[in-house]
Amino acid sequence: MHKGIAVSPGVVVGVAFRVDSVFGTGDPQPLATPGLVPAELERFERAIATSMTELDAIVIKVGQQLGAAEAEIFKTHLQIVNDQAMQAKVRALVESKSLTALSALQIVLQGYAASFARIEQDYLRERLADLRDVFSRIGSHLTVQTTTVAPSLGHDPKEGEEPIILVATEILPSQAMSLGSLPIAGIVTEAGGGTSHAAILARSRGIPAVSGVVGITAEVRSGDTIIVDGREGVVLVRPTNDETSAYRKLQREFFDLKDRLVLNRDQPAVSADGAQIELLANINNVADAQAARKVGATGVGLFRTEYLFLSHPDVPDEEEQYQHYRQVIEDSPNRVVTIRTLDLGGDKTVAYLGRRNEANPFMGWRSIRLSFEHPRLFERQIRAILRAGRHGKVSMLFPMITTLEELRHVNQLVEESRRNLRREGVPFGDDVKTGVMIEVPAAAICIDAILRETDFISVGSNDLIQYLVAADRDNPKVAHLCDPLSPAIFRVLKMVFDACQRTGTPVTVCGEMAGQPRAVLTLFGLGLRRFSMSPAFVPTIKALLGSVTIAQAERFAHQVLQLKTNEEIRAYLTARLHEVSSALEVFDSS
């Protein structure tokens, strides 16, 4: 039994599939027969040629979109792809050991990584990131593209076969996008916490997940039976028959309840005493928008646009962004969508915006700060969102605003974009509202000043919590400090909600708190009426709020504000959740 961080509730028994952070299976894969070596070398040559063609086009496009300095990055990538020594090493491994080109490429990368680790100069060590980018690009062309899971996961699932549970060191943003369409039943990772990409992927799919399980990839082999308990943060590898039987019973109960709850999708979201509530969805792409509609969300409260950039082969231009946003809007519930501008940086990077060696990237060059440094890119995104605003009820949300000066600057950029579009005769949405994401404590403290110059507020509780407690939420050593059930976060949220109520400003919580039953009881009692969460949680939160009255929730919130410790709040809200709806306790991780 291994203990980790419970990041997505539920229980599943399945077959482990170990995934490497870049190339797929962690073990080198031999070819079926040595006679396939010539064909495999041809596949490698095609992957090299395709990568070079792509990079040639990217150099031109990035130069036009962002500038010559940014294009230089991809000229370096071209040199790496064309490196004859690298290519020779891959070919030699394929020929001498009859390995797949993908496995050979992985081994060569590991060799480079070991060499770079011995280099003292930070600048040269940072070039390893470029190598990884290039090798991933070549590797992507060696991977068979298919809509079925079998070739992607390396075997052919048969009828009645156990569900697949991914086990990985971590899941990168680009992987989160590509894994989104596969029938995965659970996720276990060594790195990351409650707001990692693995956690976001798991919650959007409504599947159990545990992160921060140190050493799990070394112990698990693909094909092992594995149990994931996303309520308690427990992972069992090669369990006994008794353990398997007990958890299978819990798994059936969990998924039966989930299936019953989805039946409430056509019912209005109201409290037990009839108060109207808005339940919105957090999405990354069109598939998530469609899922939000299926579960009964009334709109999209947070569309994370950075995943378009992370999964794009180069930099998406204005027209590409417009078409993508339009498609998302048209597939979203009631065509109600709040589109967040780029929130890149930290653990989400793209090569063409450069990399910096930062001691603490989550508190550095990221999000709106990065957008300000690339004004042409930012302007194109603003224009694309305004143009897409014609196709629904669209709002534009700016992340990580810290000061009133920043807010005034983005408001000015939006007005300039509107004037330019009008002058050019390009149709756009006249009624696109603009809002501020409250993630930085400084913005929460100065909320009264911010409310005078914005249309709405959206609270990003994930970042707000980690900045309040000065702890990296994805670092297993300190992730326990990023607890949403804490006196500090509830007091700050009360201050924000009260200010919004005084001014009549709409406010939404779009962080993970909005999908956690115990936290929701308190948020509702503090006056929140707009919640945005992973689509899979909408039926649960609708059922929960339908079981509580305003008076009950206000009493809960009042008591929570009197408590002094996280443990006291957790115990109190656990008892209240059991009192209101004990059946829903399974949907709240410990």
Catalytic residue numbers? 197, 510
Q: What is the 3-state secondary structure (H, E, C) of 123-159?
A: HHHHHHHHHHHHHHHHHHHHCCCCCCHHHHHCCCCCC
Give the three-state DSSP class for 40: helix
Contact by Cβ (8 Å): 559, 572 = yes
Contact by Cβ (8 Å): 534, 282 = yes
Whether the CA torsion 120, 123, 124, 129 is positive or negative: it is positive
Contact by Cβ (8 Å): 306, 321 = no
Find, among 366, 360, 356, the residue nearest to 126 by Cα.
356
Contact by Cβ (8 Å): 465, 479 = no
375-388 vs 37-65: helix axis angle to the nearest 10? Answer: 90
As to burial, measured by CB atoms within 10 angstroms (0-12 exposed, 13-18 middle, 19+ buried), residue 41 is middle
Measured from the Cβ of residue 343, the count of other Cβ atoms closer than 10 Å reads: 25
Rounded to whole angstroms, the Cα distance separating 331 from 320 reads 17
Rounded to whole angstroms, the Cα distance separating 95 from 202 reads 39
Rounded to whole angstroms, the Cα distance separating 458 from 511 reads 9
Contact by Cβ (8 Å): 484, 465 = yes
